[in-house]
Structures are given as C-alpha cells and as structure tokens.
Chain A
C-alpha cells in the first residue's frame, strides 16, 4: 500500500513537467523553430522556486491557499487513478465522484484567490474559467458513467482496470471512441490549451486561466505551474489508459507503455495547438455542449 502510494506519487512528481516540454517542442517544430529544450519546464520550476515572494497588502490567506490547494489536489486525485497497467493505490466505491469534485475544489480555490486580489481582470478570468469548466464537468461525469456502466462498477480502479481491454472487443468500442474524443476536449479545456485558451498569451483581454494567476509570483507561481502540470498528467492518464488498455503483467513494461502513451498524447496536443486557431469566445460553450451531448450519446449507446 505505502509502496504503491510512493511509486505513484514519485511518478507524478518526476514526470509531470515532461509532457509540457514535449508539447512546446512539438509546437516549435511545427513553427520551424528549434524551440526550448525538452526539460525547460523543470528549469522554470527550479528558477521560480529560488525567487522571492511579492504579496499584495490587500490580500488575505485565501490568496495563498489557491496555489497550495492547486498543488495538493492533483496529488490526491492521482492516488485514485491507475497509471497505465498499475493498480490504483486507493480505491473505494463512488470514488469517481470524489475524483471529479477534487478538481472542482481546486478550481474554487484558484478562482477565490483570483477574486481575493480585487483586480477586475482577474475577476473576469475567474468568471470565464468557472463558466467553461462548469460546462466541461457534465462531459467528464458522463464519460466516466459510460466507463462505469461498461465495467459494472463505480470505482475508478475498476473502471480503468484490466476489463477495459475487453470492452474494446465487445460492442462498446463505439462509445469508447466517442468518450475518448469527449475526454480529449475536456483535457484541453481543463488545462487551458488551444483552442479554448492560450497558455502563452499575455494580453489581458484574451486570457482565461493565465489572468487568474497574474498576481502570483516566485514559489507560489511555481506551485501553480507545477500543479497545472500534474493536473495535465492525471487527466492524460485517463486518456492514455482508454487508448492503450494493454496489460503485459510486468510492472516495468506497463510503466514504459504508460509513459510512452503520455508522450504521444503530448505530441497530439502539440499538433492540435499548432494547427488550430483559438475559438471565438461565444463558440466555446457551443463546443462544450456538443461534447456533453456526445458523451450522453455514448452513454445511450452503452445502455441500449
């Protein structure tokens, strides 16, 4: 138990920033640039950690709680989810609800921290972020329900367990395909990627997520970035597991398959970001409603 928890957390802590580097490298290659080194996100984190704090006098403890919760939540969530062929360290019936709302909690604190600064820009960013994730949440839940009704269980460990490979073979492959698409969109929304948000933009009016963390600096900013990277990895883990449900039995091979899948997904995100433009703001809810409908549709396919 303890061993598994340690292994899972170590995996997460060590590998989380790597996909970001891969994404940036892919984008650079598409643009014909050399791009930053693969390990650049690690360097950034290290640099931020060495810097000092600047905290506005108008803020309260909530301002600091944001980054802390943002860092802790992905760690907790990761314990509920099997990474690749590994089994989930903690598992109980109904933990998929906890999984979904852990991210809700982190979003609440991030938004609260943004509002705590009293800046109108950050308020605007918080409003947009909350709106989008509120629309993305049903997709996530319905997709998990699709998996749950296939697995006949409400427990994340079983949902992403060995039975997943069997589901691709029997009639459920259609709905699995659908929720893969739906969850990929959720991944892009939740992690503020193009075409929903641009992690690199620095123009206040166009920012969604970035504007919320504008006032954080030094280690606090580092925690936020690290937390975001881990969130990306946790959500990616679901997608990788759905796409590659193979299980070799050997711990090392399972791990390698998982990591390879993670990097492939990062490349995929990079390709999407390089080939698509950002969506017009009013179009985003339309797309999210579309993915929600898609996931409900997948559920109907499974249940019928």
Chain B
C-alpha cells in the first residue's frame, strides 16, 4: 500500500510526459494529488502503524504524510489555474517534476532506513531545482544555483552524519551494523557516544540546511522569492516539514541513546537563532515573497524551539507543524495571485490589494494574521502551547525572548503586509481576475487553520499526542 503511494505519482509523471495536450497535462496534477490524498486517507483510517524493513508508518510520519498530501492536493488545484495563466512557459517540465517531487517527499516520510531517507531527501532537492528555475530568467538562475549548491552541501554533510552513526554502531560493536531505523533504535544504548554526537550534529546541520534553520537559511529567500507561488508553498509547507521529520528521526535516536538533553539544547539554540535572524530581516522587507521566506525561517525556528523544550511544547510543536504548513500554503498561493496580478512582488508596486483583488488580497491579509499567531487562528493555540511549555519548564528568559521576537516579527511583517494590502483600488495592467481554481485552495487552507483554532478534533488530538510521545524519553 505504501509502495503504491510512492509509485503512483511516478506513474502519473510518466503519463504526463506522454500526453501531448497542455490542458490535460495540467489536470494530471490534481489527479495525482487527489489519488495520493485518497490513498493516504485509506491508509491512516485502516491501521495504526505499519512496520516494515524499508518503509513503514509511525505516528510521526503519519502526521507529516497527511499534512504533505493535503498541501500538495491544494497546490495541484491551484497549479491548474496558474498554468493556464502561464501558457507561454509550457508545462512539460513542471508537471512531471512536481509529481516526482511528491513521490520523493512521500518516500522520505515513510522510509524506515536512514540511507533511504537520505536518498529521498536528495531526490527532493534534485526534483525541485527545475521548479525554482521555472521562470528561466537571471534571478531564477541565481536562486536555483544558490539552492542547489547549499542544499547539496547540506545533504553531503547529512551523508557524513549517517556514516558517523553507522561508525558509532561499528565501534559500539554489539550488533550487526545497519542503518535500519528500528534496529538502530533498539540498539541505541550500545552506540559509541562521541560518534553519535558528531553524527547528530552533522545531521542537524545537513537537514537543517534543507529545513532552513539559521544560519543555513540563506537560500530560502531567494528560492521562495523566485519560484512560482505553489512551488513556494510546497517548499515552505512540505519540504521543510519533511526535513524537520528527518531531524526528528536523529533526535529520536539521541533520546533512545540517552543523550536527549544535548540534542534538545542544540535544537533550542538553533531555533532561537533562526527566530532572531528572521525578526531582523523581516523588518522593512520590501518584497512580499521574500518576507514569507523569512516567516518560514521564523516558524522553523519555533518548531525547533518547541521540540527543544520538550513536554507540553512538543505537543505544541506538532500542532504548529500542521498549522504552519496550511497557513504557508494559503499565504504563498495568495501572494502568487497578487504577484501575477500586479506583475511585481515589491511593495513599491503592490498597493491596495484588498480593494483590487478582494479574495486574494483578503486571504493574504487574513493569512498574515494567522501566521503571526493572532487568535482565533490555529497558530495562536500552538504558539501559546509552546510558550506554556517553556514557562512550565522554568526557562523564563527563553520565553520572554521568544515573545519579544514574535512581537518584532508581527510589527515588521505587519508593516509590509499592510502597505501591500491597504490603499486605493488600482487599475491592473495584467487583466488578472480571481478565479475559482486560484482561490479555492488558499481559502480552504485558511478555513482549516481557523477551525483548528477553535476546535481540535478528537482523532487529530490523539494523533498529535502519539507523535509527541515518540519524542519523549521512554521510561
């Protein structure tokens, strides 16, 4: 079943290469995404966990899988509308690449072998590079180059981290060396701890590059800024979550080996630093997409802080993971609409978006309130839970610093967003109009975040608790 989940998008990608019709090819995206979502829902309602040698499903991966699949389906619907606007670019490259990207992300989520996770993450890098290069101009080349170079280096370092962990098992010496995750977990106590620590640091740096934790985030603003809206949404909501999952795997290993404290410290430090960097660069940002990229850095930082604190905050981080992915989807897609409409993403050109494009502009504004954690949106709950965890843990200064930085982010982001959305109605030269395909997905995403803010369904709550439990110290 899981294998089908991975192979199906590849099959659709192959089909898209064979079909000669532009429109049909575009519609293959929602087809693949819908099938994927359908399969995922069948799988998660079916049984709790699937264990396997190479691929399997545990509460953590189940959560990420649902989020990713949902996000991709939304983006795929948006993509049909978007590709209709960009007929001059062709879709022979972007459609298969998006589907391969989906397949690679799925593999990275369900893999139970560290080597397989690594290969899948590498595959996401390669399949997403053409997506960022979609516009084929100088700026997108620059963005793609930085993305490829930094992520390749990051992934190489992650490889080294894997090798270190394998070596830790070799030096530990009591079991056959294997990178199979369950084997590693059960034998974690015998791993040689200097090698394990070094391995964890390299994995954190390597996958942290992919996730966009500061100071390894510098590809993010460029790549998100130059990529089409739905690609930005997939990168910010899907790919970063997948990379975060890979880091959580390393974290699980550290906890099983009894070194959870060190791993938490490292995550907490990187998380706070990401928050700080994001807050600094967010102020007076003049480009709405780059602003969203820094917001992504910020939220990755919050996730890292949540897991770094542990306890209630871990639950908060899991909830935040869901909220962040959905809100980023809404924001990037509506920002993409604004970009298309104004032909620019600088606030010097973009003004009065709410008056000009009532739906997209309104969604963008509402998304801004959601992402900065204003009630009644879901992010308020999750950020509040994380803060509660911090204060309950007695780390007063961390909590205060985080509150302060969140305040700075709110003000900085607000300045940019308000100047883009408020103002007189302007006459658009591009003739862009909000259409159903272009606004349906962000609207649904926003509604979901809103629902999560007022009511947390019982199954989801259970799933979140199960996922968070994996990251706690087993008695």
Query: Is there a direct interface between A and B, measured as CB atoms under 8 Å apart in the complex?
Result: no
Residues of A within 8 A of B (CB): none
Residues of B within 8 A of A (CB): none
